[in-house]
Structure 1
Amino acid sequence: MLNSARRSRTTRRVAIAALALGIAAGTTLVVGTGAQAASKGGIYAPNGMVGVPEQIQVQVSGLNGQTITLGLSSGANATTINAVVGANGWATATWTPTAAGAWTINALGSALSAGTTTITVAPVPTYTVLMAQQAVQQYVSNTLQGAVVAPIGNIAPTGQVYLATAGGNGITTQPISGNYGTSTATVGLPWTPGTGGAQALVATFQPSNGNFTSSTSPISQPFVTTANTTVALRWPANLYAGTATVLQAVLGAGIPNGSVAFSMDGTGISGSIPTVNGVATYQWTPPTTGIHTIAVTYTGNPVPGQAGQASGANSQTVNIQGSLPADNIVVDPPSQPVWQIASPIVMTAGQSVTLAATTTSNTTVLFSEQGPCVINGSVLTALSAGQCQVTAFTAGNAQLKPGSETYTISVNAAPKKKK
């Protein structure tokens, strides 16, 4: 089915964005129409999320081997997609929602008899990371790095980032201007500090539309000094063992480009990396937890007319936290006891259940199914006797990895009608 669900004949694959810059409870979306009876044909699509590929299933009779068209619309957003009807009378179409809100899906042309359905698409959750170099120069413009991560899907957030002191004094607001991969947006945040010493700063993402949620970074505390630091380290406020992150080396004002190398506890973790516009970036996965020392060494490029080359080094003690736990999901349909992955769940063919769930991260839960069942909106319907598997999954957040749970459902045949 939609991003989250697929029919019994297909395999579900959810694209989850890599958390390139590491670092950060809720109810599932339960709005949607009920599934139509399988014998009458219909369109089946679970509620979804912006940027996450969806599978839409259509049952239609008399069109085996033919291409059918579906129309999808939500306000000013409209598109069409095609699918080929198989020998079993089912067609599967893949679609990636581009906007949050209610979407109407219509069968068009020869497939008109399959009807229509309405689903709800949720905005993408985000988390924001502020990377501030350990030392910044007083009364000089320094550029900090902001990143906004969408932990699921394949669309990078759009909007602006507001930089402020932890006490709420605004510094700057800048539009997102770059991307790191497919689901991380980046922005440079200029700051000319007038006060010396450690300064607590936060960055807040303000989305440009309803397709993304807002988010605020953990506090970063750069040290403001009158000295021009040759090379400084820049890293996320939170580091987790086993989770990919980014280290950066930032050259001081007027320091020529060159190359840098990173190390941890005296052992090299990178080769030589050239600086570009005064910054070198290295993607790194912390191998272990605990207190460690990250260091960087810098060698400048030769400057015509000057003897020798600029050089410098810096280091920082960091606390690498344990591996991120997975987000916890509790599936609690209103008409049934809380589902347990190791306990029997029984339905009867023709029976429908409204799916609902909560998570530790407070992010939207998406559902998928395999077997003789369909999900439409938030409603699971058993079509025939057999075994269905329903998977609930969540994007997680900055402190929780994406989580999923799969439940096995026994579907009993409907009682035979007495003549």
Structure 2
Amino acid sequence: MTSREITRGVAAGAATTLAIGALAFLGAGVAGAAPASITWDDGSSRFTRTVSNTSPAVGDTITVTTKFDRTSWVDEFIYNVKDRHPSCLTYVPGSAKMGGSPTNTDDVNADEGNGTGYVRSSWGVTSWVVQNRPGFHASPEYSVDYKVGPNCPRGVALTTGMDYGGSLGSGGYGNKGPSINMAKTATTTTLSPVTGARVGVPSNLTANVTGGAAGDTIEFKDGTAPIGTATLDGAGTATLAWTPTVRGGHTLTASFAGTAFANASQSAPITVQVAEQNATSTVAIAPITGAQVGRASTITATVNPAAAGGTVEIRDGAASLATLPVGADGKVTYQWVPAAAGAHSLTATFSGRDGVVGSNTTASVNVAEAPANNTDSTTTLNPVGAAAVGTATTLTAKVNPANAGGTVTFKDGGTVIGTGTVGADGTATAAWTPATAGQRTITAEYSGAGTVNASSDQESVIVGPGNGTGGPGTGTGSDAGSLGSLFGS
């Protein structure tokens, strides 16, 4: 054996480099290359290393193969091979093979601390021979598979190489190649449409970047003026609240500046029409006098600016009394029957409507005890029977005593759906057209009148999906009678 054969790493600089099947290079990546091989001689040993894809994408699996040959008649036994790779590649367990057979003796170091790792395999000293004699030729190959990780640097040469030990010495070729060169990931940025934008009102801007990573920064602009920045989440989405200050058309874009791993991109511009700022509103409760337990008092709430749209919810303290649609005159009315004497705090909350923000107000009302000689009443809600979406149904309630007068308010849950005047026969009716299918609780609240106390009744109603399949109601409060039916006492 020559000294060069005993310590082959020393002679690496004098190796002869040959190209096989692709561009040949030493320690330098070629963007866009697919397979690449490099061959070199060290003494009478010849090595050929092949990388199946030198420009892979994240998630690809690449195979690195080292072939051993001899240029003289002296045989060499291979004892071990250490394949060196960038630490951003992950060894595929069980993939190391010598001569096509699994090695089953792998020593894996994912990162030696210098950005490289290795996979080392060894076997019996006479297992693999390299021969080049008349009638005897053997060129064993060692191969390893790696998975490409997302943290691989882009646009730089990532070195591969190998070391080995054999019967004629050892060789160290840790940076021999071929190297791997990953291009930056291409990205696309899209900006979602924005609707309903108004001066002074926040609207969400949403951008999505394919090819970006969580934590990457997105900049939003209105024309050339920066709006602000946001970071991508794990789904590649960034959201920023934008509060326009000027009405009219605005041209918005979202830009991804790019990173060490991904190229920059910008969305197509979108045009957003910004309307005038929402108008403010006020809601007022008209003064209520003479309120007493068991007798209805009319609550009137007025929304300004007056127009139909939105709802007003009336509350007595924390208890919701009713939710009513605002009429064209901006008003809602509700027949309130107090259940307890003393001070009550009424609240009217306007939901707002298109172009008008909501508002609320409170009013204090003193409620007197009911006169001891008042007469109790009973209210009976007739079974509704079949009810269906989009079909008008007549709600009928019977008040006793029949000649008491007053009104009956009908509710679907907490929403007022109609009011009927009690006739001389004690009957009050209202038309109801259900908008959605499902089970409903319909309540009939009698206001009381004169010396006759209020009362209520309710039943469950099944509303069908518009084909008349709604089932009959199951009355739960018939003849419940008196004030206790209304207030659960």
User: Which TM-score applies when normalising by structure 1?
Assistant: 0.39
- The answer to which structure, 1 or 2, has the higher relative contact order (CA under 8 A, 6+ apart) is 1
User: Which TM-score applies when normalising by structure 2?
Assistant: 0.34
Structure with the greater alpha carbon radius of gyration: 2
